[in-house]
Amino acid sequence: MGETPHRSADAGTGGTRVTQSHEWPAGASARVAEAPVSTRSPGGTGLGGGGALPRSRKFGAERAFRGLTLAAGTAVLVIIAAIAIFLVAKAVPALRANTENFWSYEGWSPNETEPKFGIGALAFGTVLSSALALLIAVPVALGIALYLSHYAPRRLGTALGFLVDLLAAVPSVVFGLWGRDVFSSPVRDFSVWLNQHFGWIPLFGGDGPFGASVMLGALVLAIMVLPIITSLSREVFLQTPTANEEAALALGATRWEMLRTAVLPYGRPGIIAAMMLGLGRALGETIALALTLGITFGISFNLIQNGGNTIAANIANAFGEANETGRGALIASGLVLFAITLIVNITARAIIYRRREFTESAA
Amino acid sequence: MTTTATSHRTRPPAQPDSLRAKRLPWYAAPAIAVAALALSAVLVYGTSIGGPVLVIVLGAILYLVGLFAAANAVEGRRSARNRTWSALIHSAFVLAVLPLVSVVWTLVSKGADRLDVNFFQTSMNNIGARDANGGAYHAIVGTLEQVGIATLITVPLGVLCAIYIVEYGRGKFAFAIRFFVDVMTGIPSIVSGLFVLAFWVLIVSPWFNDGRPSFSGFAAALALSVLMLPTIVRSTEEMLRLVPAPLREGAYALGVPKWKTILRVVLPTALPGIVTGVMLAIARAAGETAPVLLVAGGGAAINTNPFENNQSSLSLFVYQQAGDASKYAPARAWTAALTLVALVLILTIAAKLLARRNRLSR
């Protein structure tokens, strides 16, 4: 719709030259500078219609307003760049002072005279808990979304969808508190049971204590991202063209076959976007994990023993007693988190943009 | 179902049974469910490997298997798949509702303990581990100020940015801005907190504060702005795109310059949608804990000046009370959580209702 004024402005007036002053592409300030100041020379090439238009001024409200919006747009790029620059600036001195390998050392004691800290275990914990959370949440969320969009009676579906949207807005600290105070005891019982009967699998091995584990953290994360993924994918499923669904049904497809052949393929880009958004939230989640994980520093696939840690949770926990180097070290870890989420996001967006073009041209 | 529908009419032509697809009788599903539960109870208690929860879980799995087998035998493979997936989707719904209901229930039941007038009128100043009183007044003040300042910063910036993207932006530069707004949506809150810590608290604030870095509510507002900006830009952008082209063209036809068209015609038309987006962004920002923890520091006393000294916020208050050793702290944490959720939900519900009345929305 951004193009509309362009077309109409050119339609009946005196050629492009007169109206062009309203329509220069953004970021073409160089062209603004070299363009002739007076676009309407008397007796010049302009046709009759051009005379009716107001003279385009060099410093008019139009230019000022456009400059203002351009500045606001540029601010976004500046902020992203500033985040990277300032994090790097504060992280480098701490990284210089680090006496161990930043990537491989398993531990976090940057406040001592010989600072030692490493990101390896933290990054591992971040990825492990987020991946587990997504693994649990995505199938369930897609199930709920399908239920709400295609199985539930319309009124019930709308009401429950509204409820899911509300749950997506519940702050993470509330989930963290609930996970620690309420959810941890059933998870502990379950962990003990798993350990008794499936202890031979390394994931569920160990000899306790259980409870404040990666499993608890991942489950709380899963419950947290569930409403987000559900509400986004439900919206996508609802947008499936009715014609596609009816065509599938008319060809004799069962309801599941209709969902599989018409709804799911149509919603795939949306599902990917929802997953990535959920993953982004899970990767960056701080407080819920700081409250539920039993903070340790080590790389372990054991899911049920007390332990687990993530970059963000470590920042929240270690920030209180951090000195100058400690802060730098935490900022360095934040930089790694920023890089991870940036990669995830850019990948997701690239997928979505490509898919969007594809689906729009196909539709 | 065919028999009741056709009984009033003329008899349908006799249809041989071989032409009609065989279907499971209506009682098949409940019967399989009961059988599955009984079997799983026998299995679980017979081998004594678990309790009632395991009975239900195992029963559900057995039910799915049994349903698939029965439907496969009678109705054929496609129908069996359909039934199984349908059962799976329903059970996903039940599975997810349980924890979410538990969260809400705990929130209300535990939060009601300290829901008294005192809680909203006192701060945590001079409240020791043995004091049962103490409240969240300072935290509420902090939340309102921080979110308010963040809104003041973000709304003009975000709306102007969206106007640029929709109305003026062309080519690669505008695409880059759109792309990075999308990317910015995914920046973790803790990273935005660290950014403001590195930029404002450690580098800029010493200039105003005799060379010592200082925490402040304003820094928290800056961090929240970084989080709110992309949300507002995206929702405003979408609303601006929904404004009908004839409205713009009508204004141009009357000789109204473009900037005036945007300010007087496009923005007022899109306003309800923009307000909805802003309210959702505020709701999200109000619940953020991590950035406030990093740059506002939190404090026990009432501090109404957002530009100096530590300030708390509701979510940070919840986090701090959750980590407090006092036996009265959990009750305070839950009540503060209830207050926070109420605040966020009121904003969200208002935003959704506003969106529903919006003429532009789909």
Residue B229 contacts A where some CB pair is shorter than 8 Å = yes
Yes or no, beta carbons of A171 and B189 under 8 Å apart: no
Q: What is the nearest CA distance from A233 to chain B, expressed in angstroms?
A: 14
Q: Are residues A263 and A134 in the same domain?
A: yes
User: What per-residue confidence (pLDDT) applies to A355?
Assistant: 63
Query: Which range marks the domain in which residue A301 is found?
Result: 116-362
Cα-only R_g, chain B = 29
CB distance B252–A8 less than 8 Å?
A: yes
Q: A290 with A309: CB under 8 angstroms?
A: no
Task: Report the chain A residue with the minimal C-alpha distance to residue B353.
Answer: A162
State whether residue B18 is helix, strand or coil: coil
Contact B260, A5 (CB under 8 A): no
What is the predicted pLDDT for the residue at B228?
93
Sign of the dihedral through C-alpha B91, B97, B102, B105: negative
Model pLDDT for residues A130-159, shown as the tens digit of each residue = 999 999 999 999 999 999 999 999 899 888
Q: Which residues does B237 contact at the CB level (< 8 Å), separation at least 6?
A: B162, B165, B166, B178, B181
What confidence tens digit (pLDDT) does each residue in B298-309 have? 888 888 888 888
Closest CA to A123 of A280, A327, A297: A297
- The amino acid that residue A92 corresponds to is V
Q: B202 with B143, same domain?
A: yes
Has residue B260 been placed in a domain?
Answer: yes
Q: Is B348 on the interface with A (CB under 8 A)?
A: yes
User: Do A2 and B194 count as a contact with CB atoms less than 8 A apart?
Assistant: no
* B327 close contact with A: CB closer than 8 A: no
Residue B219 lies in a domain: yes
Residues B338 and B267 both lie in one domain: yes
Q: Which residues pair with B311 in a beta bridge?
A: B297
d(CA B324, CA B332) in angstroms, rounded, equals: 10
Smallest Cβ–Cβ distance between B315 and the set A173, A193, A197 belongs to A173
In a mutational test of the A interface, the residue from B84, B289, B327, B334 whose CB has the highest number of chain A CBs within 10 Å is B289
CB contact under 8 A, A5 and B160: no
Closest CA to A122 of A360, A270, A307, A345: A307
Could you tell me which chain A residue has the CA closest to the CA of B279? A169
Contact A222, A137 (CB under 8 A): yes
Top-ranked range on mean pLDDT: pick from A166-170, A324-328, B154-158, B324-328: B154-158
CA angle B41, B47, B48 (to 5 degrees): 80
Same domain, B99 and B173: no
| pLDDT tens column, B166-182 | 989 888 999 899 888 98
pLDDT in tens, A250-267: 998 999 999 999 999 888
Q: Which residue carries 């309210």 as its tokens? A: B279
Which residues does chain A have within 8 Å of residue B337's beta carbon, measured at their own beta carbons? 171, 173-174, 177
Residue B11's pLDDT band, with cuts at 50, 70 and 90, is: low
Place of tokens 């947008």: A239
Whether residue B115 is predicted with pLDDT greater than 90 in this model: the reply is: no
In angstroms, the CA B32 to CA B61 distance is 11
Flag if A75 and B176 touch (Cβ within 8 Å).
Answer: no
Q: Kindly state whether residue A108 falls inside one of the protein's structural domains.
A: no
In this structure, is residue B3 part of a structural domain? no
Residue A221: closest C-alpha in chain B: B99
- The answer to whether position A83 is within a domain reads no
Of B60, B81, B111, the domain-final residue: B111
Query: Do A43 and A183 sit in the same domain of this protein?
Result: no
Q: How confident is the model at residue B297 (pLDDT cuts 50, 70, 90)?
A: confident
Is B201 contained in some domain? yes
**Is B11 domain-assigned?**
no
- Report the alpha-carbon distance of residue B196 to residue B200 in Å, rounded: 5
Based on the fold, state whether residues B90 and B127 are members of the same structural domain: no
| Domain ranges, residue B54 | 22-111
Q: Which residues pair with A305 in a beta bridge?
A: A210
Give A154 to chain B, closest Cα distance, Å.
Answer: 15
Number of domains in chain A: 2
Give the bridge partners for A117, in sequence order. Answer: A108
Mean per-residue pLDDT, B50-76: 88
Within a domain: residue B16?
no
State pLDDT tens for residues A225-247. 998 899 889 888 988 889 999 99
CATH number at residue A238: 1.10.3720.10
User: Do B106 and B143 reside in the same domain of the chain?
Assistant: no
Residue B214, domain member (yes or no): yes
Distances (CA, A) of A2 to A28, A31, A356, A358, B359: 17, 21, 18, 21, 20
Number of domains in chain B: 2
Is the domain of B196 the same as that of B96? no
Q: Is B174 on the interface with A (CB under 8 A)?
A: yes
Q: Which residue has the higher pLDDT, B271 or A33?
A: B271
Mean pLDDT score, A265-288: 86
Residue B162 in any domain: the answer is yes
The residue among B111, B128, B149 that closes a domain is B111
pLDDT at A58: 64
Q: How far apart are CA A38 and CA A45, in angstroms?
A: 12
For B297, phi and psi rounded to 5 degrees?
80, -35
- Looking at the domain assignment, is residue A318 inside a domain? yes
Say whether both B70 and B131 belong to one domain. no
Instruction: Output the DSSP codes for B36-67.
Output: HHHHHHHHHHHHT---HHHHHHHHHHHHHHHH
Domain boundary among A15, A38, A57: A57
Residues B34 and B141 in one domain: no
- The domain spanning residue B256 has which CATH number? 1.10.3720.10
pLDDT of A24 above 80: no
Residue A183: its chain B contacts at CB < 8 A? 99, 102
Q: In this structure, are A153 and A272 located in the same domain?
A: yes
The pTM of the full predicted model, rounded to 2 decimals, is 0.82
Residues A24 and A150 in one domain: no
B169 shares contact with chain A (CB less than 8 Å): yes
Task: Kindly state whether A339 is in contact with chain B, defined as any CB-CB distance less than 8 angstroms.
Answer: no
A44 and A168 in a single domain? The answer is no
User: Do A47 and A167 share a structural domain?
Assistant: no
Verify that A183 and A50 share a domain, yes or no: no
In chain B, the residue whose alpha carbon lies closest to the alpha carbon of A275 is B186
Pick the last residue of a domain from B111, B130, B157. B111
The CA-to-CA distance between both ends of chain B, in Å, stands at 38
Continuous H helices in chain B = 2-6, 28-47, 52-74, 77-111, 117-121, 137-163, 171-185, 189-196, 205-208, 217-242, 245-253, 258-261, 267-286, 290-295, 314-322, 329-357
Q: Which residues contact B349 (CB under 8 A, 6 or more apart)?
A: A166
Q: Which of A8, A162, A169 sits opposite B283 (nearest CB)?
A: A169
